Each structure stands twice: as structure tokens, then as C-alpha cells.
């Protein structure tokens, strides 16, 4: 049950689901010139949600604020950060604003919640320290609990998805002087300090040891060979007073012989802590100031997967005495320790995890006497039978059983794996949360442990969505959404608002790399994926509800891409490890296809069941005999690399759309109407990485196009209802989700609904407020993409405003505004003003510019949403500051005229 995270945020291409074909007999022709299309971008207001899975990835850090009750944060390795919402017991995502160019900033290596000012929170972000991530790391800072952020770029990289990411926390705020922060860097970059609340940073020049431990120094990719560096910082708050820097600071270093350092003069000088144990890495250092004990969790490896030996130690800060408090003899460990926490309400209570105990289960240890004696979350009665101190209730996320039926001593669901995050609520001894490789578990009756009664463990993960999405399908009937996911295979969603009961099983791929359905027979579905042993392909005849395994051709080592014939009568598969193959029926035997290179991306025509296509290294291929033989298309000037996704229009034979490329060559969106014999590049699309189709707009005859692209100089998710002649950006700057280049599809049954694949934020879906299909295809005057920084519009005609508060927290809120043109003439620029009734102020606005004068706020259009046709509307959003009441404005003015308020 070892689950690993996707290691590259721009992974090798995952197959699309709907494909195109080259018509038989199409005459050779050179590539067509780009179609001249107007570069015009409208805007639409979408509501964005996750298709619920709840969890799905590794949560290496959970941080409780120690000043304010119920304020907690979680960090993920590739999927951003979250804040706990106590009223709903859900998590709120905080880094959805991270855009395409900064995709690496969705990896969070550390979080710090300010212990003096709970409104402040910091995140150290960056996904890889090697060249997989071209960007540098950064420290994000927020004064409103993560509703909006400011960023300071760092001169080095950070590794939210690197080895050692479960150690920490590497980022810490001085509990006495909260303008002082420390950050432990990887890659030999040392210890860094800020004295202005994270605005600027400088290296602590006199810190003596930047670390030296690497998981595998011989790894030429730079992933496992990177020095894991400085791994945690802990302040002894008892050695300072409010307003003065804390004097004693402990720092953990990835060095088995020199793992812990201390300063007793607020960081002026540093010394190796005398008498410390050697031979292990200190994953965590947690201080119980009431008892004067620094607890340390050690492992012989950096984690989060590896670790074969470990110890727990206690250091007495007053005397310098070291005590081995390990709950078992080292000879009996086959794991390292990492998760570590103390009960702030009950000094002397400490807990730790055996994070790398994969089999039969993880282990959690608890002591109420400062580590003198321990009890376990489970223990053997007579092997292989075991007795648990807990009960597990996964009814809210039933897939956590993995559909397994293991033999003792394994159980399902498992207590966890990769359990490096473990925290007792500092205000509530009964509440504990811990992260695993798939979810956040927690309990609210933890102290039952000490009385002999059982405590209950449940998922505490709703709202935290951390899956890497590799492919998506929305069939015309049956389930509205089928997904292919890294690590947990994928799901069939019959209701987007509910967690599916189980991921795909029979077989259960560790990662599903591609899936497809038969266009005219959507009950027939095929998926392919990765598995340590066993078949790499599976079929369903009931729309993905139940599955059975196929047979692999010789040499298959991974899923690759797969395509189903339009009627489900045959399949073409391009697996890893061998060449393209084809079969009739359900894959009981396969034959090699000819004329197409190994590793090609394969897709099917959505009308002709014998037509399939492929793409490899700038060449488009077609088969008209069911995948037996392929012929290269004469089309030229297509992207030369393999970062391409293409699909054929359902119901339109030979109507193919191809997206992809790279910045150093051909990059964009191409369209073929002759089965791939020729392709024409759309001149109004600068870059495109995905293409998908959805239900046509009202009054339109052609299906709606969706793409993750750069259009008019703007990166985003776009929609067109007129074959790409004009485009509407449907996301906004607050909803970008980093890298969205793996897959996209519209819903064939719901106009405007689009499903977006993210690399760590799960399946995002959006619904439009534009029921008429206007903008990006249909009517109205389109704006130019040129920004207009300070427009002075004088629109005429009636207007209406809808103002909605979408989120609130102590001292702040988030709101959305929709401005409708209810008159008879189009606006060419707009300016909307209002006055807050309770002294609120705007801190950040998106999809509009803003200015303030006294208590009056004025929002003005940006360049691409200046024009608003009669009967249309425009939306924008903002975060604001408030104190006490947060009443809604009651009057809005468009220029000099008053708008109706809905």
C-alpha cells in the first residue's frame, strides 16, 4: 500500500480521452497558414469547486496556532496550504492564486502561524530543488490568515516535494518578537533570518553547518542527491520577554553526527549541542517549556518513504542531560520516528509516530510521564492477531479501505503510513490530528487512550483535495465524471458533491495514466496505469462502475495511453515498455501495430470505429483499419516535442483539435477539418496545453471548446463557443491552481461546465453564470486585450449589482460583486463605487482595479473586461479587512447613476 507522490509537476504526457482521425484518401498538403482570428478576450464569472475526493495525497505538516483556539493549518507537498474552518470542520485552500509561471509555489515545505498575531501566517514554497522546477523558492506572508498573500522571492530553491519534506518545521516565528523569523534552507544554503516579518531575508552567516545528508548521493537527476539541509527551528519562549528576541533557539540539521545546534544569545552565536546522540537524523525537535524538555524524533533516513532504525531522545534544557526515551529497543525497530507532539494542557504528555512502518501498519506511541513509559496505539495479542486502542470510522471517505481484504496482522483501513505530521491541539487534549500519505486523520476523544476506553479516529480532511490529475472524461451518459489520478488510481463520480465509495479496483493501479470511453457506447470504458506487478489495463462495460483486468502484451512496464473505438469494439494501446498494439474485444490478445513509433500518444475517432490516431515528435499518424497499420500525415509545422494533447470532436468525423508545444518552438492550438491531413494554427492562441469539448452554447451549433492556454497575453482557462474565433477567460487570478496542463474537458450535458485537471489540487470544476453563451462566441462587443489602467467610463442605461460575502474570518472577509448591464446599450468601460457601512477596507481585488477615498471604494474595469453588452454582466472579487460588523453596502453607483441592488 505504498503510495508515492507524482515527482514532476509537468509529467510526461497523460493521454487525452477523445481523439481525432485522418480521413482515408485525404490528399497530401502542406501545413496551412494560421487562421487570422480576432484576439479578443471576454470575461465570465464562474463558481469553482472540487469534485469531492477528500484527501488523496501526502500531508507532511499540520500547525496549530498557540494563541488562538481552533486556528490550524495544513501543508501538502504539491497541493498548497489549507486553513481549518472549525464551524464546518473543513479545510479552506489558501494558494489557489498561484499561477502557471509559478507552479512550483504549490509545493509547501513549511508553514508558520504567528504565535503573537494570529492573523499572520507564513509559507515557505517551492516544489523541487533540482531542475525539474525552473523557479526559485519564496516565502509568502499573509496578514489575513491566508486570504491574500505577499511574496518575497528567495535566491535559492525550496523542495516541498523533495526527500526529507516531512521533517520540520523549517520556518518559525519568534514567539516573543514576532518580526523575527528563521528559515532552514536545503542544498547547503544554510540558515536564513528575517527581522521585518518576512519582507526581507538574509543568511545567518555564522551558522556553522548547512547539513550534509543526501538520500542517494549518486542520483544524477539531483532529486535524491540534494543535501536536505536545515530541517527545523524551535524557540524556547521561556528565554525571552514580549518585544525582545528569544535568546535560546534550537536548530535541526541534516547531519547524522551533528544534528542539533543551539544559540543562547538570540542567534548571535551558535554551538553544537553537547552530548547529543549520533548516527541518526533529527526529524523533529519539540520543546515542552513547562517541563524544560526538548524532545527529538530520530531516524536513520530522511523520509518520508525510507527509514529502518530510529530513536526518541529527551534533552533537559536546564541541566544538559540527554535521556534515551525510545519506546522499543533499537534492535526491534524497522522504522524511524518522525511525528512528534506534546500536550500543552498536560505537560509531560508526549506522542510520536513510527512514520516508516509500512507493514503491517504505522504505529503511534504515547507517554504521560515525559517518556519514561509508553503505550502503543495497537499491539499484538497472539501473532498475527492484534488489539487496537482505537476504532476507525472512514464512512466519510470509504475509499480509504482501498477495497482491500488483507490477512492479519494487516488491517483495512490502515492506521496510516508516512505519518510525519502529528499534533495535539494546544487548547484541547482530546483533539489530535495526523497526516498520512492519503489523508488527515484525527480524534476528538484522545484521552480515552489513558483510561483504557477506545478513542475514535476519523478522516478530518474534507475540503483538502490533493490529487494529481492525469486524465479526465465526461461521457454523454452515465457518470458525469471519470478521472485518472496519480497515487490513488481514479474515481467514478456520479455526484460531484459527494465522495465516491471506492477508487477503481480489479485491478487497483497505483496511478491511472489514461482512460477513454466509447463515444456511441459510453458504458464501455478502458483505463491503463502503473502497477508494481499485474496487468496494466482494465475494462468496464457498465460505465466504470465495475472493472475486469485485461492481458498485457509482452514487455509492458507502464500504462502509457489508450483509446477506445467509437463503438467499443476495439482498442489501441501505447503502453510504456513496448510499441503500440491493437485488439478487438477486451484485450485477451494483442497484435503489434505498424507504421507508428513506440511511445506515441494514441486516440480514437469519435464517429468511425476503425479510425485511430497517434502523435509522436511532431508527426501525426492515422489508422483506418482499427489500429493495425498507421500512416504518417503530411501535415508539418506541428509541435516538435511530445508535450501535446489532441482530441476529435464527438459527432464530427475528422474534426481534430491539437494543443501543445514548447516555448522554444511551435506552441499553440491547431485545428484540422480533414482528418489530420492538414492542420491550421489559430493565430489568436499564443500557447495552449489542453483541449476539451462541452455542450454547445444556447443557439450555437458547434460544441464549446475549453483550453488551458495563453491568449491575449493572459494565462488561464478559456472557453470558446464559436470554434475558437473569440475566447472567454473563465477563471480569474484568485483561481489558477498552478499547473493545469494535463487534461481538460467540458460536460456534454451542462453548458458552461468545465473540468480542470490540476497537479495537486484535485479535479476542479466550474459552472458559469452566463446562461446565454455570450462572450467568447457569441455576440456583444469584445474588449481588446490592451490594459487600460485608469479608465474614465461614462456608461449609460440601467444597472444592477449583486454583492455576496463568500468567506469570513476574524478581521477579514472575501466577497464577490456582479455588475449587470440591464440597459439597452453596450458599455465600453465601467466604474462602480460604493461605501462600506462598517468601515471595511479592500486589501486585494481581482478582475478589477480599485481605489479608495475615505470609506468609498471605486472598482474599475481592466482591459479585457471593459466591454459589457446589454443584457450581460461582469464580475470581480476582493478580500477585505473588517473589525466587528461586516455589513453589506446598500447603494452602488455606476458613474453618476444608482444601480439596483439584488
Residue where the block lists cell 456511441: 520
Q: What are the Cα distances from residue 158, in Å, to 163, 230, 304, 558?
A: 11, 11, 16, 30
Contact between 282 and 295 under an 8 Å Cβ cutoff? The reply is no
658: left (phi over 0), alpha (psi -120 to 50) or beta: beta
- Active-site entry in 77, 552, 608, 732: 77
Residue where the block lists cell 525497530: 333
In SS3 terms, 71-85 reads as CEEEECCCCCEEEEE
Q: Are strands 41-43 and 727-729 parallel, antiparallel or unpaired?
A: parallel
> What do you get for the CA distance between the two ends of the chain, in Å?
52
10 Å Cβ neighbour count for 293?
22
Cell of 831: 466604474
What does residue 759 show for φ and ψ, rounded to 5 degrees?
-105, 70
- CA–CA distance, 250 with 245 (Å, rounded to integer): 14
Q: Residues 315, 316, 321, 326: is their CA dihedral positive or negative?
A: negative
Q: Residues 328, 331, 332, 337: is their CA dihedral positive or negative?
A: positive
Q: Are strands 81-85 and 581-584 parallel, antiparallel or unpaired?
A: unpaired
Contact between 212 and 151 under an 8 Å Cβ cutoff? The reply is no
- Active-site entry in 96, 236, 343, 487: 487
What does residue 448 show for φ and ψ, rounded to 5 degrees?
-55, -30
Cell of 380: 499484538
Catalytic residue list contains 77: yes
Contacts (Cβ under 8 Å, ≥6 apart) of 619: 632, 633, 638
Distance of CA 367 to the CA centre of its chain: 36
Considering only the C-alpha atoms of the chain, give the largest distance between any 2 of them, rounded to a whole number of Å: 88
10 Å Cβ neighbour count for 557?
12
Contact between 262 and 296 under an 8 Å Cβ cutoff? The reply is no
Burial degree of 529 (CB within 10 A; 0-12, 13-18, 19+) = buried
Contact between 509 and 536 under an 8 Å Cβ cutoff? The reply is yes
10 Å Cβ neighbour count for 809?
18
In SS3 terms, 437-463 reads as CCCEEEECCCCHHHHCCCEEEEECCCC
* Residue whose C-alpha is closest to residue 9's, from 113, 114, 132, 124: 132
Residue 695 DSSP one-character state: P
What does residue 197 show for φ and ψ, rounded to 5 degrees?
60, 40
Any idea what the Cα angle at residue 211 is, between residues 210 and 214, rounded to 5°? 135
Cell of 720: 470558446
Q: Is 14 helix (H, G, I), strand (E, B) or coil?
A: coil
Contact between 389 and 375 under an 8 Å Cβ cutoff? The reply is yes
What does residue 237 show for φ and ψ, rounded to 5 degrees?
-65, -20
Burial degree of 379 (CB within 10 A; 0-12, 13-18, 19+) = exposed
Edge-first strand order for the sheet with 591-592 is: 558-564, 570-576, 581-584, 591-592
Catalytic residue list contains 54: no
Active site residue ranges: 77, 487
Amino acid at each position: 500500500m505504498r503510495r508515492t507522490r507524482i515527482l514532476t509537476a509537468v509529467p510526461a504526457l497523460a493521454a487525452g480521452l477523445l481523439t481525432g482521425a485522418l480521413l482515408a484518401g485525404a490528399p497530401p498538403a502542406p501545413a496551412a497558414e494560421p487562421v487570422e482570428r480576432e484576439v479578443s478576450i471576454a470575461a465570465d464569472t464562474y463558481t469553482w469547486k472540487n469534485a469531492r475526493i477528500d484527501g488523496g495525497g501526502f500531508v507532511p505538516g499540520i500547525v496549530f496556532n498557540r494563541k488562538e483556539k481552533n486556528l490550524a493549518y495544513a501543508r501538502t507537498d504539491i497541493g498548497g496550504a489549507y486553513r481549518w474552518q472549525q464551524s464546518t470542520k473543513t479545510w479552506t485552500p489558501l494558494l489557489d492564486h498561484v499561477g502557471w509561471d509559478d507552479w512550483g509555489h504549490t509545493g509547501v515545505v513549511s508553514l508558520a502561524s504567528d504565535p503573537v498575531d494570529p492573523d499572520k501566517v507564513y509559507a515557505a514554497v517551492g516544489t523541487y530543488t533540482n531542475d525539474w522546477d525552473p523557479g526559485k523558492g519564496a516565502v509568502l506572508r499573509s496578514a489575513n490568515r491566508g486570504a491574500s498573500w505577499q511574496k518575497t522571492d528567495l535566491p535559492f530553491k525550496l523542495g516541498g516535494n523533495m526527500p526529507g519534506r516531512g521533517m520540520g518545521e523549517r520556518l518559525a516565528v519568534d514567539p516573543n518578537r514576532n518580526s523575527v523569523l528563521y528559515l532552514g534552507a536545503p542544498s547547503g544554503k544554510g540558515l536564513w533570518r528575517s527581522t521585518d516579518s518576512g519582507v526581507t531575508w538574509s543568511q545567518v552567516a555564522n551558522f556553522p553547518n548547512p547539513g550534509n545528508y543526501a538520500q542517494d548521493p549518486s542520483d544524477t537527476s539531483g532529486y535524491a542527491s540534494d543535501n536536505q539541509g536545515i530541517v527545523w527551528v524551535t524557540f524556547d519562549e521561556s528565554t525571552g520577554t514580549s518585544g525582545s528576541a528569544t535568546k535560546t533557539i534550537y536548530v535541526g540539521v541534516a547531519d547524522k553526527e551533528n544534528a542539533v545546534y543551539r544559540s543562547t544569545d538570540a542567534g548571535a552565536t551558535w554551538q553544537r549541542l553537547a552530548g547529543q546522540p549520533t548516527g541518526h537524523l533529527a526529524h523533529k525537535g519539540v520543546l515542552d517549556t513547562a517541563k524544560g524538555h526538548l524532545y527529538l524524533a530520530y531516524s536513520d533516513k530522511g523520509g518520508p518513504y525510507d527509514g529502518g532504525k530510529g530513536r526518541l531522545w529527551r534533552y533537559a534544557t536546564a541541566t544538559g542531560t540527554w535521556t534515551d526515551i525510545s519506546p522499543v529497543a533499537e534492535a526491534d525497530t524497522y522504522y524511524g520516528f518522525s511525528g512528534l507532539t506534546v500536550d500543552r494542557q498536560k505537560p509531560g504528555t508526549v506522542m510520536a509516530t513510527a512514520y516508516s512502518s509500512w507493514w503491517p501498519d504505522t504505529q503511534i506511541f504515547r507517554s504521560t510521564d515525559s517518556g519514561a513509559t509508553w503505550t502503543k496505539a495497537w499491539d499484538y495479542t497472539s501473532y498475527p492477531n492484534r488489539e487496537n486502542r482505537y476504532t476507525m470510522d472512514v464512512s466519510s471517505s470509504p475509499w480509504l479501505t482501498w477495497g482491500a481484504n488483507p490477512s492479519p496482522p494487516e488491517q483495512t483501513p490502515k492506521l496510516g503510513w508516512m505519518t510525519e505530521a502529528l499534533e495535539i491541539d494546544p487548547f484541547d487534549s482530546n483533539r489530535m490530528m495526523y497526516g498520512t500519505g492519503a489523508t488527515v486523520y484525527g480524534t476528538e476523544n484522545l484521552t480515552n487512550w489513558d483510561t483504557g476506553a477506545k478513542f475514535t479516529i476519523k478522516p478530518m480532511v474534507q475540503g483538502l483535495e490533493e490529487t494529481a490529475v492525469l486524465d479526465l472524461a465526461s461521457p454523454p451518459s452515465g457518470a458525469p465524471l471519470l478521472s485518472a489520478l496519480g497515487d490513488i488510481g481514479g474515481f467514478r463520480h456520479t455526484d460531484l458533491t459527494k465522495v465516491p465509495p471506492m477508487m477503481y479496483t480489479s485491478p487497483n493501479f497505483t496511478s491511472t495514466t489514461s482512460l477513454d470511453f466509447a463515444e456511441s457506447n459510453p458504458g464501455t470504458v478502458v483505463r491503463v496505469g502503473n502497477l508494481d506487478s499485474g496487468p496494466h489495463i482494465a475494462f468496464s462495460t457498465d460505465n466504470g462502475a465495475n472493472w475486469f483486468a485485461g492481458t498485457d502484451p509482452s514487455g509492458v512496464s507502464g500504462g502509457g495511453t489508450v483509446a477506445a473505438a467509437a463503438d467499443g469494439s476495439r482498442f489501441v494501446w501505447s503502453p510504456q515498455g513496448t510499441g503500440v498494439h491493437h485488439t478487438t474485444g477486451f484485450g485477451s490478445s494483442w497484435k503489434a501495430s505498424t507504421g507508428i513509433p513506440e511511445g506515441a500518444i494514441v486516440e480514437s475517432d469519435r464517429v468511425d470505429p476503425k479510425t485511430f490516431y497517434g502523435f509522436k515528435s511532431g508527426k501525426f499518424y492515422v489508422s483506418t483499419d482499427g489500429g493495425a497499420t498507421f500512416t504518417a500525415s503530411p501535415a508539418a509545422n506541428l509541435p516538435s516535442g511530445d508535450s501535446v494533447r489532441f482530441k476529435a470532436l464527438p459527432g464530427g468525423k475528422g474534426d481534430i483539435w491539437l494543443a501543445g508545444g514548447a516555448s522554444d518552438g511551435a506552441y499553440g492550438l491547431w485545428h484540422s477539418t480533414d482528418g489530420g491531413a492538414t492542420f491550421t494554427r489559430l493565430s489568436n492562441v499564443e500557447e495552449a496545453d489542453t483541449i476539451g469539448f462541452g455542450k454547445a452554447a444556447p443557439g450555437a451549433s458547434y460544441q464549446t471548446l475549453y483550453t488551458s492556454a495563453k491568449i491575449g497575453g493572459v494565462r488561464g482557462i478559456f472557453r470558446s463557443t464559436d470554434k475558437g474565433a473569440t475566447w472567454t477567460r473563465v477563471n480569474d487570478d484568485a483561481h489558477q491552481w498552478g499547473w493545469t496542463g494535463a487534461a481538460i474537458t467540458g460536460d456534454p450535458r451542462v453548458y458552461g461546465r468545465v473540468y480542470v485537471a490540476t497537479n495537486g489540487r484535485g479535479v476542479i470544476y466550474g459552472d458559469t453564470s452566463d446562461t446565454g453563451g455570450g462572450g467568447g462566441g457569441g455576440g456583444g462587443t469584445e474588449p481588446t486585450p490592451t490594459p487600460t489602467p485608469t479608465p474614465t467610463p461614462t456608461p449609460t442605461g440601467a444597472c444592477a449589482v449583486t454583492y455576496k460575502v463568500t468567506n469570513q474570518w476574524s478581521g477579514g472577509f472575501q466577497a464577490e460583486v456582479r455588475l449587470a448591464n440591464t440597459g439597452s446599450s453596450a458599455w465600453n468601460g465601467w466604474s462602480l463605487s460604493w461605501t462600506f457601512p462598517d468601515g471595511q477596507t479592500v486589501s486585494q481585488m481581482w478582475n478589477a482595479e480599485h481605489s479608495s477615498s475615505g470609506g468609498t471604494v471605486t472598482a474599475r474595469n481592466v482591459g479585457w473586461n471593459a466591454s459589457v453588452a446589454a443584457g450581460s454582466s461582469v464580475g470581480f472579487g476582493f478580500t477585505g479587512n473588517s473589525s466587528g460588523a461586516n455589513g453589506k453596502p446598500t447603494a452602488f453607483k455606476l458613474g453618476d447613476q444608482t444601480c439596483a441592488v439584488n
